Amino acid sequence: MSSRRTTAIAGSLAVASFSAVMVLSFPAGADDQGPGSSKGGKPVDQAPAGVKLSTLLPERISVDNDSKKTAITATVKNGGTEESGAIRLLVVGFDGLTVTDVPGCSRIAEKDLPEGSNSGFACPIDDLAAGASTSYDVAATFDPRKTGKICLPVQNKDGSKTYWQQGPVPFGTTNPSPNAPATPLLLGTDNTPVGPGGEELPRTGPGRDVLPLGAAGAALLAAGAAGLWWSQRRPARPQG
């Protein structure tokens, strides 16, 4: 074998090895949820001076059509100039979306869940520095035969004030794929049921007129560490 041919073969093997490394170095993208979005969120009670709290949800998630399982990243951030002090994030599921686990958080007792919700977890946060954020891995199931909504209120430690609330905001698809391994769902999209003829979705929980998205809003108020109630609130007056 000539030295020129040996060099060519060695070079080809090196390129192939490098290509394999490049392919294996990047994830398959199955967990790619896209950028975070605060869609369906708004301030409720006035936060302490210099504190600006908000939440983010992924713009898209994927539901396994066999197990109905999905994963959602819930993020709370402080866009202000001062530390938040002790706060808590609530993660609450509605209709076809059921929250099954949020590591590091406590399950909300069924009797203390908001009307119309089916599950929820409370996540205590000792303090959130100015400009900082923290994220939680939310395990959930989604029934594609129903609508599915999630709600993220951010409250003070005892739940007497709700500084921010995102939702209840829907995840859904207008193009169901029952024969595919998974169904992608988009934030802020009402779900079309999987089934022949696109039958009308079953409606459970409070109607959209009771819990409007982006209107003056329903606020999650709490008394004590776990008490939750839905209540209509008047829109805050514009700051002068």
Based on its alpha-carbon atoms, the radius of gyration of the chain, rounded to whole angstroms, reads 22
* C-alpha–C-alpha distance, residues 179 and 68, integer Å: 13
pLDDT for 1 equals 52
Q: Which residues touch 165 (CB under 8 Å, ≥6 apart)?
A: 41, 42, 44, 151, 152, 153, 154, 217, 219, 220
Q: Which of 149, 167, 150, 134 is nearest to 203 (CA)?
A: 149
* C-alpha–C-alpha distance, residues 189 and 191, integer Å: 6
The count of domains in the chain is 1
In a domain, 23, yes or no: no
pLDDT for 233 equals 35
In a domain, 4, yes or no: no
Q: Which residues touch 156 (CB under 8 Å, ≥6 apart)?
A: 85, 86, 87, 88, 163
List the structure tokens of 88.
Answer: 């808590």
pLDDT for 176 equals 81
In a domain, 45, yes or no: yes
In a domain, 74, yes or no: yes
In a domain, 50, yes or no: yes
pLDDT for 32 equals 57
In a domain, 52, yes or no: yes
pLDDT for 221 equals 37
pLDDT for 178 equals 74
Ranges of residues in the chain whose predicted pLDDT is under 70: 1-34, 194-240
pTM of the model: 0.71
In a domain, 19, yes or no: no
CATH of the domain at 170: 2.60.40.10
Q: Give strand pairing partners of 151.
A: 92
Q: Which residues touch 45 (CB under 8 Å, ≥6 apart)?
A: 161, 162, 163, 219
Give me the count of residues in the chain.
240
In a domain, 12, yes or no: no
State the residue range of the domain holding 147. 30-175+182-194+214-232
pLDDT for 179 equals 82
